[in-house]
Chain A
Amino acid sequence: MPDIIRLFRSEQREQELFVALLRPHIDLLYRLAYRWTGSRDDAEDLVQDILLKLAPRVAELRQLDQPRPWLARVLYRRFVDLYRREERCPVERMGDQGGAEPDADPFAAVADPEDPFQRLELGQLLERALAGLDHPQRDVVLLHDMEGYSALEVAEILGINVGTVKSRLHRARAQLKKCLGPGTFSSSRAC
């Protein structure tokens, strides 16, 4: 903290450093914030909020070897503080809603529909399936599958162990696939 004070002696240089350190990560922070909040306004507010907290910590930011997971952790904690704890209407949990048996053609398992409308429908279905996950599962899917963090990084960001990350990921994927229709991922109207 005293560093913060000392650093102000060269204010302009410190501001340039602050911008140089964080500018490359703003898109990531916004994207993560949007994934969590589901709202552009809330995402922008959340990013602004953590930047306000990071601005006095330029010296600390400079020491980071891997700012990406560190920033994600800061963002996640702030998101929990500001949004999740205030949630009054948690997302309704999705139950087991059926779906095809896992005997579908594995060719189809890696082939997305070419029809843009089918792609759109699949995307909407996936959004709904994601919303049906509980928070811990969704957090893991968001960070690992959507944003590409490693299981170890996800564990650090969320403050849980790697085994928990993997088990949550396994359960979350299973539920998503069930909602989407295993194998072919064809639409399951129940989700």
Chain B
Amino acid sequence: MHCHDAQQRLKEAIDGDRPIDPALGAHLRRCATCATLAEDLRLARLLRALPVPPPTEGFADRVLERAWRETRRSVPSFRPSVPTPHSGAPYWAAAAAVLLTLVVLMANPWRDGSPAVAMEVVRMAPHSVREVDVRLVSAEALPDATISLRLDAGLGLAGYGDTRELSWPSPLQAGSNQLSLPLELRGDRGGVIHITITAGNARRELRLSVEPESPGPTAKPKLLI
């Protein structure tokens, strides 16, 4: 018996948990190479058979659900929201109850003659994360819009590490669109987030000034346009 045949039969015997036939056994006694292979194969089989206790019940479903849920809380998201006929107080009051919400009217932004740059201020505690919603209201659908973010040093987005520049295509629908940012003030000094929306040759820039919150009563956001 040649080694090639012997090794093939050896693998078949071990994989199939079958006894070694006399001819193969005789070859193994003569051939150190094949005998070593036999040991290696058996060792691997023994290693694979070492027990692993099962995880706790429902583990897979639980960790997948939790991972998804927690990640959704901690990364920026962009959610076009349903246009509402009541774009004023009731909806905003509900949103502002849990989030700092900034409103930027973008009705026909490229042709309405409004300032190209809008500025708003957010105050937050140093070394903290706060979710900030930016609502973009457009009078018409902008299917080729792109959103870009640029953050000054000292600012970050929770879950995004040291990334300070992001850009992605994001069509805007007519009406209200929402951009959620898990804003992180990483030091004692503030900074500015530049949010740029481009569509075709037109662009609108929003600047969000983040200032460290001083001790005392919580300051409300101030519109600086």
- Chain A residues within CB distance 8 Å of chain B: 1-6, 8-9, 11, 15, 18-19, 22-23, 26-27, 30-31, 34-35, 40, 43-44, 47-48, 51-52, 54-56, 102, 105-107, 109-112, 122-123, 126-127, 130, 141, 145-148, 173, 176-177, 180, 182-183, 185
* Nearest Cβ on chain A to B15's Cβ, whole angstroms: 11
Q: Which residues of B have CB within 8 Å of A185?
A: 39, 42-43, 46
Q: Are A123 and B51 also in contact (CB < 8 A) when A3-B168, A55-B68, A110-B38 are?
A: yes
Which residues of B from 45 to 75 have beta carbons under 8 Å from A?
A: 45-53, 55-56, 59-60, 63-64, 66-68, 70-72, 75
Q: Which residues of A have CB within 8 Å of B67?
A: 18, 48, 51-52, 54-55
* Nearest Cβ on chain A to B152's Cβ, whole angstroms: 19
Q: Which residues of B have CB within 8 Å of A27?
A: 60
Chain B contact residues: over half helix, strand or loop, or mixed?
A: helix
Using CB atoms, name the residue of chain B closest to A24. B60
CB-based contact A110/B14 at 8 Å: yes
Q: Which residues of B have CB within 8 Å of A1?
A: 160, 163, 166, 168
Q: Are A9 and B68 also in contact (CB < 8 A) when A47-B63, A107-B28, A123-B49 are?
A: no
Q: Are A35 and B41 also in contact (CB < 8 A) when A9-B78, A15-B68, A126-B46 are?
A: no
CB-based contact B79/A8 at 8 Å: yes
CB-based contact A6/B169 at 8 Å: yes
Which of A6, A112, A183 meets B46, CB within 8 Å? A112
Q: Which residues of B have CB within 8 Å of A106?
A: 20, 25, 28-29, 34-35, 38
CA distance A44 to B72 in the complex (A): 21
Q: Which of A23, A122, A123, A145 has the most CB of B within 10 A?
A: A145
Which of B43, B60, B66 meets A173, CB within 8 Å? B43
Report if B80 contacts A (CB, 8 A): yes
* Nearest Cβ on chain A to B32's Cβ, whole angstroms: 8
Using CB atoms, name the residue of chain A closest to B40. A173
* Nearest Cβ on chain B to A70's Cβ, whole angstroms: 17
Q: Which residues of A have CB within 8 Å of B45?
A: 112
Which residues of B from 137 to 194 have beta carbons under 8 Å from A?
A: 159-160, 163, 166-170
Report if B44 contacts A (CB, 8 A): yes
CA distance A13 to B192 in the complex (A): 34
Report if B197 contacts A (CB, 8 A): no
CB-based contact B71/A56 at 8 Å: yes
Q: Would you list 7 pairs from A and B whose C-beta atoms are within 8 A, ordered by A residue?
A: A22-B64, A30-B52, A34-B52, A47-B63, A51-B66, A126-B47, A130-B47
* Nearest Cβ on chain B to A117's Cβ, whole angstroms: 15
Which of B43, B79, B160, B166 meets A145, CB within 8 Å? B43
Report if B96 contacts A (CB, 8 A): no
CA distance A165 to B160 in the complex (A): 34
CA distance A148 to B169 in the complex (A): 42
Add 14 more A-B contacts to A4-B75, A183-B35 (CB < 8 A). A1-B163, A3-B168, A8-B78, A26-B60, A26-B64, A43-B55, A51-B63, A52-B71, A106-B20, A106-B28, A145-B44, A146-B47, A146-B50, A185-B39
Report if B10 contacts A (CB, 8 A): yes
Which of B28, B59, B71 meets A109, CB within 8 Å? B28
Q: Which residues of A have CB within 8 Å of B71?
A: 52, 55-56
Q: Which residues of B have CB within 8 Å of A34?
A: 52-53
CB-based contact B47/A141 at 8 Å: yes
CA distance A43 to B48 in the complex (A): 18
CA distance A40 to B59 in the complex (A): 11
Report if B13 contacts A (CB, 8 A): yes
Q: Are A31 and B52 also in contact (CB < 8 A) when A5-B170, A11-B72, A55-B67 are?
A: yes
Instruction: Please provide the 7 A-B residue pairs with the shortest distance between their CB atoms, ordered closest to farther.
Output: A2-B168, A106-B28, A51-B67, A55-B71, A26-B60, A145-B44, A8-B77
